[in-house]
């Protein structure tokens, strides 16, 4: 009955495996990958609806009752993120159709995208710590291949760094799992939570929680972000957009899960550290975003700022702030994908990566320019667009908790986001055009249509806050009351 919640991971894996056998059938590869993502959108929307009606869904693999078997748990938080992942992945695929070279597409490009999405969805849905590690590795192995796709010098160089840093962070994850298992004797999230509550969060467990924090901070780019700008600026555009939208968000999701479900007993230690890290991330991300002239680096540092902003919500840990973080997380996945796609399109039409080598693009590509303007407004949090509600709720939560320094940092960073992107807009889109009519590279429909869809998505998310609030409130409620999750997993048969 609940088999449906395994679908978001199963469909991409099955499609990916099948496509390995049809290497040269590019049409088939394209459309079946897209069909898989669209099927996922439908299925996840249905799952979300089911959760509203029947509460949290769970699937025990092999019929083993928790805590003995591996299980998938779908609450509103994970379902919302899976839904957003599927939408973003589908749109990035459409962009990849017209931007990826044919020779790449024959080298298992689409299977790897499917595996990446499967890993991301699995990480969102799993209810078991070690299974989370395995899903992380599925996602990371696919990303290792995708980041080096094409094998240019810069890509190889950055992919080496990316692989090494992720091997080290996976090692930290294993160590944290080992200590958790040694101390508590279980790996199921709900069961872990029960046992921690029973014996109290000893200093030893707090240390383990800090190791978890290190792991997920490395994956999410929370202060330990130094690998991120390099590795997000080298891959082909569609892949960079998928990375910017999905990969760091999985780390953020894991951090939310671990620090709301398991280690919530000593907030004055763990949540204070998260708050400090988030504040520093906001400062450093803001400095990075205004320091560079490479449009891809500016986009990457905007990812870092968003990570800091979302984790302000977790550090504050009031239900309102959580709600704001969830809204902002969903918004950020959509808008970061759009930002990376636009940056890639700008590079594709000009052949330059530095913003001071581009000029007057608005004359040649007005639609591109105005979509870029919409992204700026959405990221800065201007009301009709999607970033607004998240920022307001996180701010409100910070005020309730009295975290005024974090509040100030979070809102000042918005100004830096606005400034860094406005600078791109003013130097590259305004001014004298440097592209003559004859040299103009025509804008492909396949480039601009995904951008239009994503920009429309940002509008819909901004205007349709009210229908969405039902789901986000439910997600925030489960995060704020871990007992709901535990009851659903352990005591509901």
Partner 1 sequence: METLITILAGILVTAATYLILSKSLIRVILGTAILSHAAHLLIITMGGLKNGSVPIIGEGDANPVDALPQALILTSIVISFAVTAVSLVLAYRTYQETGTDKLDQLRGDRNE
Which residues contact partner 1 by CB under 8 A? 130, 133-134, 137, 140-141, 144-145, 148, 151-154, 156-157, 159-160, 163-164, 167-168, 170-171, 174-175, 177-179, 181-182, 187, 294, 353-354
Residue 440, both tokens: 């103009």
Tell me which H or E stretch contains 193: helix 189-199
- The answer to whether 378 and 462 have CB atoms below 8 angstroms apart is yes
CB 394 within 8 A of CB 278: no
Question: ω into residue 401 within 30 of 0, thus cis?
Answer: no
User: 232 with 295: CB under 8 angstroms?
Assistant: no
Q: How far is the CB of 178 from partner 1 (least distance, A)?
A: 4
What distance, in Å, lies between the first and last C-alpha atoms of the chain? 13
> Which residue, 114 or 233, is less far from partner 1 as judged by CB?
233
- Please provide residue 57's backbone torsions phi and psi, each rounded to the nearest 5 degrees: -95, 150
**The three-state (H, E, C) secondary structure of 34-99, written as one string:** HHHHHHHHHHHHHHHHHHHHHCCEEEEHHHCCCCCCCEEEECHHHHHHHHHHHHHHHHHHHHHHHH
Q: How far is the CB of 158 from partner 1 (least distance, A)?
A: 8
Tell me whether residue 106 or residue 353 sits nearer to partner 1 (CB atom): 353
Q: Please, which residue, 134 or 276, has the CB nearer to partner 1?
A: 134
Q: Which of residues 177 and 245 has its CB atom nearest to partner 1 in the complex?
A: 177
Widest CA span in the chain: 74
Minimum distance from CB of 277 to partner 1 (Å)?
22
Q: Please report how close the Cβ of residue 17 comes to partner 1 at its closest, in angstroms.
A: 16
Q: Least CB distance from residue 164 to partner 1, whole Å?
A: 6
Least spacing, CB of residue 57 vs partner 1, in Å? 26
| CA pair distance 367, 353, nearest whole angstrom | 20
CB of 169 to partner 1, least distance (A): 11
Strand, helix or coil for residue 374: helix
Q: Closest CB to partner 1 among 22 and 104? A: 104
Which lies closer to partner 1 via its Cβ, residue 294 or residue 487?
294
Compare residues 190 and 407 and give the one whose CB is closer to partner 1.
Answer: 190
Strand-pair category, 71-74 with 57-60: antiparallel
């Amino acid at each position: 009955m609940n088999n449906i919640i395994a679908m978001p991971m199963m469909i991409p894996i099955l499609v990916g495996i099948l496509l390995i056998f049809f290497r040269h059938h590019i049409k088939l590869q394209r459309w079946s990958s897209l069909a898989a993502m669209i099927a996922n959108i439908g299925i996840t929307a249905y799952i979300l609806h089911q959760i509203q009606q029947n509460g949290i869904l769970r699937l025990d693999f092999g019929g083993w009752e928790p805590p003995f078997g591996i299980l998938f748990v779908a609450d509103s938080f994970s379902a919302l993120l899976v839904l957003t992942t599927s939408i973003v992945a589908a749109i990035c695929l459409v962009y990849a159709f017209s931007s990826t070279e044919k020779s790449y597409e024959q080298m298992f490009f689409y299977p790897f995208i499917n595996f990446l999405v499967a890993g991301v969805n699995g990480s969102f849905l799993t209810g078991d710590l070690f299974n989370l590690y395995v899903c992380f590795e599925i996602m990371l192995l696919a990303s290792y291949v995708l980041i080096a796709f094409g094998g240019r010098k810069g890509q190889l160089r950055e992919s080496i760094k990316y692989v090494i840093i992720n091997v080290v962070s996976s090692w930290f994850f294993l160590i944290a799992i080992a200590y958790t298992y040694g101390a508590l004797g279980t790996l199921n999230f709900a069961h872990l939570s029960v046992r921690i509550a029973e014996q109290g969060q000893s200093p030893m467990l707090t240390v383990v929680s800090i190791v978890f924090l290190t792991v997920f901070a490395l994956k999410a780019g929370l202060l330990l972000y130094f690998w991120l700008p390099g590795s997000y600026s080298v891959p082909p555009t569609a892949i960079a957009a998928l990375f910017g939208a999905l990969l760091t968000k999985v780390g953020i999701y894991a951090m939310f899960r671990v620090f709301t479900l398991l280690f919530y007993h000593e907030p004055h230690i763990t949540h204070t550290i998260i708050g400090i890290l988030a504040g520093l991330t906001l400062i450093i991300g803001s400095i990075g975003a205004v320091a560079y002239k490479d449009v891809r680096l500016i986009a990457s540092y905007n990812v870092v700022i968003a990570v800091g902003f979302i984790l302000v919500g977790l550090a504050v840990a009031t239900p309102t702030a959580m709600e704001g973080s969830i809204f902002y997380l969903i918004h950020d996945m959509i808008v970061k994908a759009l930002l990376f796609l636009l940056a890639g399109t700008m590079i594709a039409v000009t052949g330059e990566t530095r913003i001071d080598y581009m000029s007057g693009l608005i004359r040649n590509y007005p639609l591109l320019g105005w979509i870029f303007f919409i992204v700026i407004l959405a990221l800065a949090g201007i009301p009709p667009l999607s970033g607004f509600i998240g920022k307001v709720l996180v701010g409100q939560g910070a005020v309730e908790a009295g975290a005024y320094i974090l509040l100030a940092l979070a809102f000042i960073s918005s100004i830096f986001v606005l400034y860094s992107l406005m600078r791109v807009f003013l130097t590259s889109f305004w001014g004298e055009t440097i592209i003559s009519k004859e040299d103009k590279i025509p804008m492909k429909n396949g480039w601009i249509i995904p951008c239009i869809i994503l920009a429309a998505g940002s509008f819909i998310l901004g205007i349709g806050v009210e229908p969405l609030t039902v789901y986000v409130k439910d997600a925030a409620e489960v995060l704020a009351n871990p007992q709901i999750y535990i009851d659903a997993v352990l005591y509901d048969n």
